[in-house]
Structure 1
Amino acid sequence: MRSELFSAENLERESAQPGMRLQNSKMLKIALNGETMARVGSMVAYQGQMQFQALGSGGLGKFLKQKLTGEGVPLMKVTGVGDLFLADFAKDVHIIDLEPGDALSINGSSVLAFDSGLQYDVRMVGGAGMASSGLFNCVFTGHGRIAITTKGTPVVLSVDAPTYVDPQAAVCWSASLQTGYHRAEQLGLGTLLGRRTGEAFTMSFAGQGFVVVQPSEEAPVTGSGQQEQRGGLGSLLS
């Protein structure tokens, strides 16, 4: 049988050692020998013997935070030995190595998988209060690898000058950065008449670090899964 489908670039990439690697730009391969944490529903194939256990948001505390804030990662624990393939609606996949002392603040919707040795918590983004109806992110720390996704090819901005990003386009950033909310749209007669730029607020970043920005805007999602911003109590009771 002959086809360009069977070209070398589409064949499974062999892993020299256990852990994460890119099968291609849209798919993650994990040579598993133990356990890993992955986004619920992200498995597209596996070879070997594996078990999948749903963990919700990773514990009761994280579950409550997810219901209150709308932020978090619906997780499953995968254990076994073999090759695991993960993807998320054909988004681009990127692998980040966290070293001891590193801290990565990331939008929960962009988390695909991470080593079980990493720790994460849901925290409010500094400076993003009532103006943004509360903005929360997952902060990862520890030593290990995390695979994230972006809608399209991102740009990594080095924060060496005041930097402003649309909150729905910001994927992740150095957790050591100082963040805030900045009114980008000028108020005036046009605003009162309903003329809007669509850029009412931007996130500001200062300090030393980086911000990853994707060429697409994520719609705000609450704990109930609706595409809108609501208060935390309403999400908890829904």
Structure 2
Amino acid sequence: MMNRYSVNEFVEATKQQDKGEGLFELETPRLLEINLDNQVWAKTGAMISYRGKIKFEREGILEHGIGKMFKKAFSGEGTALMKATGNGKLYLADQGKKISILQLNGESIYVSGNDILAFEPSLDWDIKLMKKIAGVLSGGLFNIRLEGHGMVAITSHYEPLTLLVTPHNPVYTDPNATVAWSGDLQPEFVADVSFKTFVGRGSGDSLQMKFTGNGFVVVQPYEEGRSSDDS
């Protein structure tokens, strides 16, 4: 019993392990290890530790696909990604959110700006500003469209749920609980005035995202921006 709760036991139980899974490796469900040998895109501020020679550069992502008229208005969103370049091990996390790794094999996916953690530079990407709901979303003014071959790591508060969308069965979601959706879906924003009566929150509560077509939508059991209410 002398070894119970010993420092050695703790180190043994929690120490980093190489699982041989390649570039992206889930060290724990909430901590991503990147075995970096060139370059990767990551959410600014997500680095919690690294070893090796890695250089970090902030990137003004709004310069990559949105007119200059938006750049000034949303400059706070303009540094949401950083470039990590070099060789070593990079550890990323985002507020203890659960991490999911997706290997894209030619598909495309949209990810909310709140929920992108990292992706390979081999993927084509573009920023899409969600102007219609800029006043509704808590910091999620933009989403990122990724396409091609490579890995992307996304985050969700708690376990994500994926809902299949078919032409005869559209899916409606709360914008603040929407994590990602398949690239062939185009959400439209619909207002349901009666819905506001049940929620009893601000003016944006009645706005929903409606997905139609063939594909999937990923949601989380949490609304971004509600943490101040929870604390």
Query: For 1:66 and 1:140, how far apart are their aligned partners in 2?
Result: 21
Query: For 1:210 and 1:130, how far apart are their aligned partners in 2?
Result: 21
CA contact (8 A) 2:165 2:213 kept: yes
Instruction: Name the residue aligned to 1:57.
Output: 61
Of 203, 214, 219, the residue aligned with 1:213 is: 219
**1:22 paired to 2:55:** no
Instruction: Name the residue aligned to 1:43.
Output: 47
Instruction: Name the residue aligned to 1:236.
Output: none
Output the amino acid matched with 1:112.
Answer: L
More helix by share: 2
Any residues of structure 2 matched to 1:124-203 within 5 Å, and which? 124=129, 129=132, 136-160=142-166, 161-186=169-194, 197-198=200-201, 199-203=205-209
**1:119 paired to 2:127:** no
Q: After TM superposition, give the deviation of residue 136 of structure 1 in Å.
A: 4.2
Query: For 1:67 and 1:75, how far apart are their aligned partners in 2?
Result: 17
CA contact (8 A) 1:57 1:66 kept: no
Query: For 1:66 and 1:147, how far apart are their aligned partners in 2?
Result: 26
Instruction: Name the residue aligned to 1:235.
Output: none
CA contact (8 A) 1:33 1:82 kept: yes
Q: What's the secondary structure of 2:194's corresponding residue?
A: coil
CA contact (8 A) 1:119 1:142 kept: yes
CA contact (8 A) 1:73 1:111 kept: no
Q: After TM superposition, give the deviation of residue 196 of structure 1 in Å.
A: 5.8
Flag structure 2 segments of 5+ consecutive residues without an equivalent.
Answer: 227-231
Of 85, 88, 108, the residue aligned with 1:103 is: 108
Q: What's the secondary structure of 1:168's corresponding residue?
A: helix
Query: For 2:10 and 2:98, how far apart are their aligned partners in 1?
Result: 20
Query: For 1:60 and 1:205, how far apart are their aligned partners in 2?
Result: 26
**Aligned-residue RMSD, C-alpha:** 3.1
Give percent identity, aligned residues only: 35
Q: After TM superposition, give the deviation of residue 18 of structure 1 in Å.
A: 3.9
Q: What's the secondary structure of 1:178's corresponding residue?
A: coil
Query: For 2:123 and 2:102, how far apart are their aligned partners in 1?
Result: 12
Distance 1:86 1:157, change over 3 A: same
Q: After TM superposition, give the deviation of residue 183 of structure 1 in Å.
A: 2.4
CA contact (8 A) 2:59 2:79 kept: no
Distance 1:55 1:103, change over 3 A: same
> TM-score, structure 1 length as denominator?
0.76
Query: For 2:152 and 2:133, how far apart are their aligned partners in 1?
Result: 31
Q: What's the secondary structure of 1:5's corresponding residue?
A: helix
Query: For 1:130 and 1:104, how far apart are their aligned partners in 2?
Result: 20
Q: After TM superposition, give the deviation of residue 56 of structure 1 in Å.
A: 2.6
Q: After TM superposition, give the deviation of residue 91 of structure 1 in Å.
A: 1.1
Aligned residue pair count: 211
Query: For 1:17 and 1:217, how far apart are their aligned partners in 2?
Result: 32
